[in-house]
Amino acid sequence: MEPAEVEFLAEKELVTIVPNFSLDRIHLIGGDLGPFNPGLPVEVPVWLAINLKQRQKCRLIPPEWMDVGKLEEIRDQERKEDTFTPMPSPYYMELTKLLLNYASDNIPRADEIRTLVKDTWDTRMAKLRLSADSFVRQQEAHAKLDNLTLMEINTTGAFLTQALDHMYKLRTNLQPGEGSHSQDF
Amino acid sequence: MAEAYFPVGPGLGMEENFLSLDDILMSQEKLPGRADSALPRLAVLMGQGAGSAESVPEGSKLEIPLWLAKGLNDSKRRIISVELPKIYKEAWRTVFSADANVVDLHKMGPYYYGFGSQLLNFENPENPEIAQTILQAMTLCSLQTFIARFRRIMDSSQNAYNEDTSALVARLDELERALFQVGQKGLNDFQCWEKGQASQITASSLVQNYGKRKLTEVD
């Protein structure tokens, strides 16, 4: 899976926008949206919000968690704990990137938010590497990673599963008879 | 183009993958051995005699590729016996367990893990128990080696962005190199996405190469 595909999934998340046009309720396959009234906030998926924003038909209201104070708290919590802490959104990285790229004028202190989210990401990735290493060292066969987001899993996932696959094969080689078919001619 | 191309990967176990190019290359590595019975009319191939009728005498030392050794290895009919190559022996295993990270597996391998796993196929007919213990110690050692080197491969593959990685992969064996590439791909894909390059549509590498080839043909 590519990051762009993860982003595609993230674009289904809902955000609040303030439109400057009026439109009746629209019926889409994935659910009904609207009605849109000028100046009244309405929830739409991110893909629509970005499209409307690019056409200058709305103002975007940042999600509640996209706030310097809250993100500082999350970052400090993440550094303090050994395991992964719950993130404010399952697509925090993707939403930060999308919203800051297309609607940074609607988000207060956008640069600080970008830095904070990047710091959190780096902390979590370092933690992921550390736990992957101890997982491999102890030759575990399963692990529970509740609060990892899809983007984080996706960046190291292929590497980790392939390494574990190699390890499994090297380990099962030790048990003779099992999994090995003798080649007698 | 790489997405639509699925090469057969190496087997990494007692069985090779029949169509894996990596495994074919791995199985032509030489293995030290000894002829347990005379091999008629083969002296020319082994470089030990002049005439085509001469046979390889019993007990002569041989360097045979793994695939041939595997074919001739039989616990009932003793044709050849195989020894462990020195990098899988006790002396080197001690080195590996001291610090696996300093060993140049590419120089010793380059298919250290795959070849080592294949060696499990050979059981010494004289003393199966001891042979089995040695083989188990050897695979255990290669498992430990992999585990010890895992962290370094992971860190270097996921931190080296836009750098020359040839120094990093110089000491990795082929299996580890493939793993390194996977880690690099994850990192590169993510960085491209973050910079916004993933959303740009570019010409397929196939099309670009096609154009190039046409130009050279005109010349």
Residues 156-195 of B with CB under 8 A from A: 157-158, 175, 178-179, 182-183, 185-187, 189-190, 192-194
| Minimum mean pLDDT range among A9-23, A37-51, A138-152, B196-210 | B196-210
Q: What number of helices (H) and strands (E) belong to chain A?
A: 6, 5
Q: A173 and B139: CB-CB below 8 Å?
A: yes
Asked whether B124 and B81 are in contact (CB, 8 A), the reply is: yes
Mutate to test the interface with B, among A170, A172, A183 (most CBs of B within 10 A): A170
Domain ranges within chain B, ordered by starting residue = 1-83, 84-198
Question: At A181, is the pLDDT very low, low, confident or very high (cuts 50, 70, 90)?
Answer: very low
Q: Is pLDDT of A144 > 90?
A: no
Mean pLDDT, chain B, as a whole number? Answer: 82
Angle (nearest 5°) at CA A52 between A50 and A56: 110
Q: Is pLDDT of A74 > 90?
A: yes
Question: At A39, is the pLDDT very low, low, confident or very high (cuts 50, 70, 90)?
Answer: very high
Residue with tokens 């367990």: B97
Give CA A165 to chain center in angstroms. 25
Give the minimum alpha-carbon distance from B90 to chain A in angstroms, rounded to a whole number: 17
% of residues, chain A, pLDDT over 90: 71
* Backbone CA torsion sign across B165, B166, B171, B177: positive
Nearest to A159 among B147, B183, B196 (CB): B183
Q: What residues of B are in contact with residue A133 (Cβ under 8 Å)? A: 150-151, 154
Q: What residues of A are in contact with residue B186 (Cβ under 8 Å)? A: 154-159
Query: What is the per-residue pLDDT for A50?
Result: 94
Domain ranges within chain A, ordered by starting residue = 3-172
Which residue type sits at A159?
Answer: F
3 state DSSP class of B112:
helix
Give the minimum alpha-carbon distance from B136 to chain A in angstroms, rounded to a whole number: 6
Residue that wins the pLDDT comparison between A164 and B75: A164
Burial of A104 from C-beta contacts in 10 A (0-12 / 13-18 / 19+): middle
Give the minimum alpha-carbon distance from B142 to chain A in angstroms, rounded to a whole number: 8
Inter-chain Cβ pairs, chain A and chain B, closer than 8 A: 101
Look at domain A3-172 and name its CATH class: mainly alpha
Give the minimum alpha-carbon distance from A158 to chain B in angstroms, rounded to a whole number: 7
Residue that wins the pLDDT comparison between B89 and B161: B89
A12: DSSP letter: T
Q: Is pLDDT of A33 > 70?
A: yes
Q: Is pLDDT of B212 > 70?
A: no
Q: What residues of B are in contact with residue A136 (Cβ under 8 Å)? A: 147, 150-151
Distance between terminal CA atoms of chain B?
27
Q: What residues of A are in contact with residue B192 (Cβ under 8 Å)? A: 3
**Strands in chain B per DSSP E:** 30-35, 61-65, 80-82
**B13-66 pLDDT, tens per residue?**
778 899 999 999 999 999 998 888 888 888 777 766 666 677 888 888 888 899
Q: Is pLDDT of B155 > 70?
A: yes
Architecture of domain B84-198: Up-down Bundle (1.20)
Give the minimum alpha-carbon distance from B216 to chain A in angstroms, rounded to a whole number: 34
What is the rounded CA–CA span in Å between residue B36 and residue B58?
A: 5
Q: B147 and A136: CB-CB below 8 Å?
A: yes
Residue environment code for B3-21, b if the CB has 16+ CB neighbours within 10 A, otherwise e? eeeeeebbbbbbbbeeebe
Look at domain B1-83 and name its CATH class: mainly alpha
Sorted by sequence, the CB contacts under 8 Å of residue A81 that are 6+ apart come out as none
Residues 62-121 of A with CB under 8 A from B: 97, 101
Asked whether B100 and B149 are in contact (CB, 8 A), the reply is: yes
A152 to chain B: nearest residue by CA? Answer: B190
Q: What number of helices (H) and strands (E) belong to chain B?
A: 9, 3
Mutate to test the interface with B, among A173, A180, A181 (most CBs of B within 10 A): A173
Q: A136 and B158: CB-CB below 8 Å?
A: no
**Which string of DSSP letters, residue by residue, matches B128-172?**
HHHHHHHHHHHHHHHHHHHHHHHHHHHHHHHH--SS--HHHHTT-
Fold match between B1-83 and B84-198? yes
Q: What residues of A are in contact with residue B196 (Cβ under 8 Å)? A: 101
